[in-house]
Amino acid sequence: MPQQRRLQLAGSILAGDVLNLLEAIRVCERAGADLLQLDVSDGHFVPTISFGEAVVRRTCEVTKLPVEVHLMVSRPEDWLTRMEGCGQFRMIFHREASRRAMGLVQGIVRKGMKPGIAINPETPAVALEPLLPYLDNVCIMGIAPGFAGQKLLDYTYTKIADVRALIEKTRSPATITVDGGVKADNARRLVEAGADNLVVSSGIFAHPNPDESLREIRRVVGS
């Protein structure tokens, strides 16, 4: 049986106003986010370019919330160096982007940070098995990464169950995050399938009342 944990809701500023990221951070805080997710993209691993280490550094300075950085980049190893001195955060990189994932996990830990790995919809859970005992988090993409505002793929529920089974098999301490397409109408099913954490972006910024958006999700999930 999955361990009972309080649901963690991460606010992603990706769907916020790119010319007013400070307000986007404040919106997530007012909405009651447990943490902030910063989506760094390089225009190569995914087609979009969001922001880089300067925004990560300033965000860590201006918020009291824990931060996680989701690296949608082709050479995540390089970003460990680029992010030097930007703050302490959970660093999530993509399994598909790294040819030496274990080395990068160890590098993140050596910097005093928590390692997470994200997997795209087409990557099977088993690709993570050897790494799981060393991970703090597995981030299951519910969409093709790079763009906010997409619809959650139905296969995500099966993927959550697969990852959960492997976490138990390997006695991994990793939590499970679902990122992409999370809304009040699917959050409960995602949690029932085994998700510990949900990342929400357009569910906050496209909500008629952003300050209420995450509270609405908590209400439907009952956590």
Site residues (vs ligand DX5, CB under 6 A): 12, 14-15, 37, 39, 70, 143, 145-150, 179-182, 199-203
Complex with ligand DX5: residue 41 or 172, whichever CB lies closer: 41
Kindly state the smallest distance separating residue 46's Cβ from ligand DX5, in Å.
7
> Which element (helix H / strand E) includes 57?
helix 53-62
Complex with ligand DX5: residue 135 or 148, whichever CB lies closer: 148
Quote the distance between the C-alpha of residue 79 and its chain's center: 17
Non-local (6+) Cβ contacts of 206 within 8 A are: 15, 149
Q: Is 211 left (phi over 0), alpha (psi -120 to 50) or beta?
A: alpha
Residue 154 among the catalytic residues = no
Residue closest to ligand DX5 when measured from CB atoms:
202
The string over 13-27, giving b where at least 16 C-beta atoms fall within 10 Å of a residue's C-beta and e elsewhere, is bbbbeeeebeebbeb
Backbone φ and ψ of 40, nearest 5°: -95, 125
Residue 39 among the catalytic residues = yes
Dig out the tokens for 152 from the structure: 């959650």
Kindly state the smallest distance separating residue 143's Cβ from ligand DX5, in Å.
6
Complex with ligand DX5: residue 10 or 101, whichever CB lies closer: 10
Count CB-CB contacts under 10 A for residue 205. Answer: 22
Catalytic position from the list 42, 136, 179, 196? 179
Kindly state the smallest distance separating residue 146's Cβ from ligand DX5, in Å.
5
Kindly state the smallest distance separating residue 100's Cβ from ligand DX5, in Å.
23
Complex with ligand DX5: residue 42 or 179, whichever CB lies closer: 179
C-alpha pair distances (Å), 90 with each of 49, 95, 124, 220: 21, 15, 23, 27
Bridge partners of residue 175, in order along the sequence:
137
Complex with ligand DX5: residue 14 or 125, whichever CB lies closer: 14
Non-local (6+) Cβ contacts of 120 within 8 A are: 94, 95, 96, 141, 144, 145
Q: What is the DSSP letter of 8?
A: E
Kindly state the smallest distance separating residue 6's Cβ from ligand DX5, in Å.
20
Catalytic position from the list 17, 39, 78, 211? 39
Catalytic residues, by residue number, are 39, 179
